[in-house]
Amino acid sequence: MTERSLILVKPDGYRRGLTGEVLRRIEAKGYTLAALAVTTPTREQLAAHYAEHEGKPFYEPLVEFMSSGPVTAVVIEGEECIKGFRSLAGATDPTAAAPGSIRGDLGRDWGEAVQQNVVHGSDSPESAAREIGIWFPGLSS
């Protein structure tokens, strides 16, 4: 099933110059880049993106980290790209992520700062539609 997903190269990945490598892996997997932008997220944008986590202990550090610098926001398209990208990204904790995955190869062990794990990818078609609307409001679904 052809889908769309939102991918974010987070501030740590952007700062380390990993956007090109992340995009290379996405394209090598066979997914199409449908939209791409480099932007520094606003607090309002991040509040909408992470709304389901508001009030959790990691929420404020996550929003602070994600607003600390530019991110590369990408919409990808492809057959089952949500599931496929999440596999390509690897486990959320870079220390536990398998070698060969983005986080396993490129992530760093930051202890408590697991949110500094290079990339974000939508976890469901519903999340993808909501997230794409936040980052690319003019993109038709």
Sheet of 119-121: strand order equals: 32-39, 71-79, 2-9, 119-121
- Known binder of ligand: residue 10? yes
- Known binder of ligand: residue 103? yes
Three-state secondary structure call for residue 141: coil
**Catalytic residue chosen out of the listed positions 4, 84, 120, 136:** 120
Whether 53 sits among the annotated catalytic residues: the reply is: no
Q: Where are the alpha helices (DSSP H) in 1-141?
A: 11-15, 19-28, 43-49, 59-66, 81-89, 102-106, 125-135
| Active site members | 120
- Going by the annotation, the residues of the binding site are 10, 58, 86, 92, 103, 117
- Going by the annotation, the residues of the binding site for ATP are 10, 58, 86, 92, 103, 117
